[in-house]
Amino acid sequence: MKTLRITQLLWVILFLISISACNNAAKSETEQKATFIDIAQARKEIEAIDTQFTEDFKNKDSVALANHYASDGTLGSVKGKDNLVSTWNKMIKNAFDNETPNLLFETNAFLSDDEFVVELGGYRFADNDGNTKSHGKYVVVWKRENGEWKIYRDVGL
């Protein structure tokens, strides 16, 4: 099972890199330099968003959670703001019904090209005493939209 998840993760990363390579081939050298991502700065900004995401979840604010996604962002196969709000509402209700109101993230790696940042990490749902009730891994692809980092693809593994 663990080998299957690692294989899935590697396929997702290879897929994203290939998409990026196709996009980059069409750009001139000047355009590529103009979109350089400072990975240290991006990591700082994205970690702040992750912290806010945790607070939005604890505050049961599915609209705020959906607002972290790009206009064309997806959560698994869910797309569209209304669908994201609905999906997050269901996840929040499930978490609170199971007394696990804390959604916590642990980032393991950040990867970048000139357009996207890929965040790899783990998540866990915890009770109010900090006891982990469930956990998993994730891949989030971030992109800039109107000067802000937004979730482009959000995949739990």
- pTM for this entry: 0.79
CATH code reported for the domain at 2-156? 3.10.450.50
Per-residue pLDDT of the chain (157 residues; tens, 9 = 90+): 555 555 555 455 545 555 554 454 444 443 444 468 999 999 999 999 999 999 999 999 999 999 999 999 999 999 999 999 999 999 999 999 999 999 999 999 999 998 999 999 999 999 999 999 999 999 999 999 999 999 999 999 8
Domain ranges of the chain: 2-156
Query: For helices 81-97 and 39-58, what crossing angle results, to 10°?
Result: 60
SS (H, E, C) the chain: CHHHHHHHHHHHHHHHHHHHHHHHHCCCHHHHHHCCCCHHHHHHHHHHHHHHHHHHHHCCCHHHHHHCEEEEEEECCEECHHHHHHHHHHHHHHHHHCCCCEEEEEEEEEEECCCEEEEEEEEEEECCCCCEEEEEEEEEEEEEECCEEEEEEEEEC
